[in-house]
Amino acid sequence: AGLSYDLQNTIYGMYLSVKGYNDKQPILLKKIIEKMATFEIDEKRFEIIKEAYMRSLNNFRAEQPHQHAMYYLRLLMTEVAWTKDELKEALDDVTLPRLKAFIPQLLSRLHIEALLHGNITKQAALGIMQMVEDTLIEHAHTKPLLPSQL
């Protein structure tokens, strides 16, 4: 319908991109932020995703040599990177109750950076970002990070 979004985790935080018809982007963005702030975890889905991730970590040795090369290059070149063994060990400690406790903690303090471009005015961009902040405050009681925490 002319709209799309992408949500990724990075070593620097979360990356959210919304693309498409500019008149509908704020509506989609608000729905995404509301869903993130009120997200409920399905226990069965959590277990399926956790098992699939563990399988992918365990199957690393069977991957192609070029995938191994890219993995080791990332380990060497990235300031903060975890090995497959470290991730497997940490995954043992990931439980549903811990994840449920972590989400509000994660959303309680945020620093938001945004780039809005295209068919948009400065005032409209500021209004959209105010809507994002207001939505996070309303649903997740979010407060901005302190300057010393950046």
73-120: pLDDT as tens digits: 999 998 888 999 999 999 999 999 999 999 999 999 999 999 999 999
Question: What's the mean pLDDT when you consider all of the chain?
Answer: 93
pLDDT one-digit tens code per residue, 32-77 = 999 999 999 999 999 999 999 999 999 999 999 999 999 999 999 9
pLDDT score at 10: 87
Q: Where are the domains of the chain?
A: 3-149
- Answer whether CATH 1.10.630.10 is correct for domain 3-149: no
Q: Which helix (H) or strand (E) holds 5?
A: strand 3-10
Please, how many CA atoms are within 13 Å of residue 19, restricted to the half-sphere of its CB? 5
pLDDT score at 145: 84
Q: Residue 144 CB: number of other CB atoms within 10 A?
A: 14
Q: Give the pTM.
A: 0.82
pLDDT score at 149: 77
